[in-house]
Amino acid sequence: MKYLYLLGYPLSHSVSPAMQNAALHARGLYAIRYIKNPMPPAKMREMILALRAPHCLGANVTVPHKQTIMPHLDELTARAREIGAVNTILKQDGKLIGDNTDAYGFLQALRVRRVNPQGARVAIFGAGGAAAAAAFALAQADVREIIFLNRTLTRSVALADRLNKKFPFLALALNDWDALAQTQLIINATSVGMAPQADASPAPRDFVFAKHAIAFDLVYNPPATQFLRDARQHGARAIGGLEMLVYQGARAFELWTGQRAPVRVMRDAAANALREISRASTNQ
Ligand code: ATR
């Protein structure tokens, strides 16, 4: 048996194992299993040892390791280096290669929801790995301006610097909370609102979403976060994180296995697993 790992902490909310195992099964790859490997930040050494073991074929990396794992890998793809975050690890001749499929997943999610961000003014809550992937994807899609709203300003500055190197003509603003009301697309790329803190939102409590605004939450569990519930209540459009999860996972699957990802199977498995989790938590 060979393994693909999900490395992160905590991992109780994740439906990636259900999604990836369904895909492996659908493609007849019965000798590979995708498993959660919860590792707190202090266990970086153990994490790298687990990745180097011969039975490990690769991994996904999630909160809080997407950036801290980078210096421990043997190589980074140009994409991962630019974005400054790794969510997928491949093994080539025993070497650990860090890649990023989040930006692709984010763009695909916009596409299937028929959102064209070209020329838009966009606000992003967060400045971590997920925010970086979304920002690079949006810059590639020719948005007009990105406003980063993050608790820690130094992280927004570092992300803006990286973006500026690749997209010198893109307008960027940091912590301009007043501009939020004039943005067309508002993205939550923080972990605020993720189960079990499901009543928290990254937006200010008194913020009123404009009717023409689109709120996109990268959080997929719960499917209706407080951020999205508030947006809907004000008549704005609300998009959850499930599609991005599916497409970042589909691209990772293709990189690990060399086979086309069964996207529909993956979406159904992820949605079913989410329903199971919410049923179990309401029965508690
Ligand atoms: P990921 O790689 O998934 O983006 P991350 O790099 O740990 O994970 O980033 C998490 C993001 O959520 C960061 O923007 C973080 O803000 P800080 O940069 O200030 O740490 C944000 N975040 C997490 N918990 C938060 C909270 N309780 N309030 C506000 N922001 C929070």
- Ligand 1: which of 61, 124, 191, 205 to mutate, judged by most atoms within 8 Å of the beta carbon? 191
Strand partners, 150: none
- Give the model's confidence band at 91: pLDDT under 50 very low, under 70 low, under 90 confident, else very high: very high
Ligand 1 centre distance from Cα of residue 191 (Å): 6
Of ligand 1's atoms, which has the minimum distance to the CA of residue 126?
14
The 10s digit of each residue's pLDDT in 248-279 is: 999 999 999 999 999 999 999 999 999 998 88
Which element (helix H / strand E) includes 36?
strand 32-38
Res 36 pLDDT > 90: yes
Ligand 1 centre distance from Cα of residue 257 (Å): 31
Quick one: which of 224, 213, 249, 190 has its CA closest to 115? 213
Residues with CB under 6 A from ligand 1: 63-64, 66-67, 85, 126-131, 150-152, 155, 189-192
Task: Give the residue whose CA is nearest to atom 27 of ligand 1.
Answer: 192
What's the pTM? 0.95
pLDDT of residue 284: 62
Phi-psi category of residue 58: left, alpha or beta, with phi > 0 → left and psi -120 to 50 → alpha:
left
Question: Considering the chain, what percentage of its residues have pLDDT values greater than 70?
Answer: 99
Of ligand 1's atoms, which has the minimum distance to the CA of residue 66?
2
Q: Which two tokens stand for residue 44?
A: 């970086």
Which element (helix H / strand E) includes 145?
strand 145-149
Residues assigned a catalytic role: 66
Res 208 pLDDT > 80: yes
**What mean pLDDT, rounded, does the chain reach?**
96
Res 236 pLDDT > 70: yes
Which element (helix H / strand E) includes 177?
none
The pLDDT of 80-101, averaged and rounded, is 97
d(CA 172, CA 176) in angstroms, rounded, equals 10
Task: Give the residue whose CA is nearest to atom 22 of ligand 1.
Answer: 190
Within a 13 Å sphere around the CA of 2, how many CA atoms are in the beta-carbon half?
15
Task: Give the residue whose CA is nearest to atom 30 of ligand 1.
Answer: 151
Which element (helix H / strand E) includes 95?
strand 95-99
Phi-psi category of residue 173: left, alpha or beta, with phi > 0 → left and psi -120 to 50 → alpha:
beta
